[in-house]
Amino acid sequence: MLPAQEAAKIYHTNYVRNARAVGALWTVFTITFAVLTVVVFIQPYWIGDSVHTPQAGYFGLFHYCVGNALTSELICKGSALDFGSIPSGAFKTAMFFVGISVLLVVGSIVCFSLFFFCSAGSVYKICAWMQLASSTCMVIGCMIYPDGWDSDEVKRMCGQRTDKYTLGNCTVRWAYILAIITILDSLVLSLVAFSLGSRQDKLLPEDFQVEEKGKSEGRAQKPSSAHQHVQLSASRRACLVQL
């Protein structure tokens, strides 16, 4: 084997090994990302009280708890299955988009099963588009959510200075910050998936492809040579019969 062909095979082996290692890491981080988006969706700690708020409490996308002014007992309301219990239309819209984001990233995990039936490059690209769409929906949800801060329930906890995109005496809690982090996470994962998808189409180096092509052409020429040999033998037998 020529040195160039040996180098091509070594390069191909390393290329495949590196692609598989990156793909394994991408899979782990995708599952982690899915868990984070579910936590962001269900946890009611998007905004909450501070030392300056007249009431204790916290708000999520659909579930919220506000303290009683007399007993300081938290009264919790809101359900994802009951839109009427959500205190703001903006909260409902934000819940919808964040929920779509969760479904998309969970769907990308379900698409892992396609690796057994489809080419790896196609599966990576499908997951990349789903993760990019998930990131877009999360961005929309995070941008719409502050539009509902002027609702009566939020003002009761955060004070009358609270308005759209103005929290008054309340503060942003960890779930909202985690939602922003998942946006960046999703963008990075989608870029990695697009890169893996394009790498799968180039796993075989050009020199190695030329070598394999030469072998296949050589195998294709063998039947024709054998056919010519049979024809030559037949013509010789015909000459002997005539003699």
Output the six-digit token pair for 237.
């037998």
Angle, helices 120-144/3-42, rounded to nearest 10 degrees: 30
Q: Do residues 102 and 38 lie in contact, with contact meaning Cβ atoms separated by under 8 Å?
A: yes
Provide the pLDDT for residue 207: 43
236 band by pLDDT with thresholds 50, 70 and 90: very low
Q: Which domains does the chain have, with CATH numbers?
A: 17-203+235-240 (1.20.140.150)
Tell me how crowded residue 56 is: count the other CB atoms within 10 A of its CB.
17
53 band by pLDDT with thresholds 50, 70 and 90: confident
| pLDDT tens digits along 70-93 | 777 888 999 988 888 999 999 999
Q: Say whether pLDDT at 111 is over 80.
A: yes
Tell me how crowded residue 5 is: count the other CB atoms within 10 A of its CB.
14
Q: Is the pTM of this model over 0.85?
A: no
209 band by pLDDT with thresholds 50, 70 and 90: very low
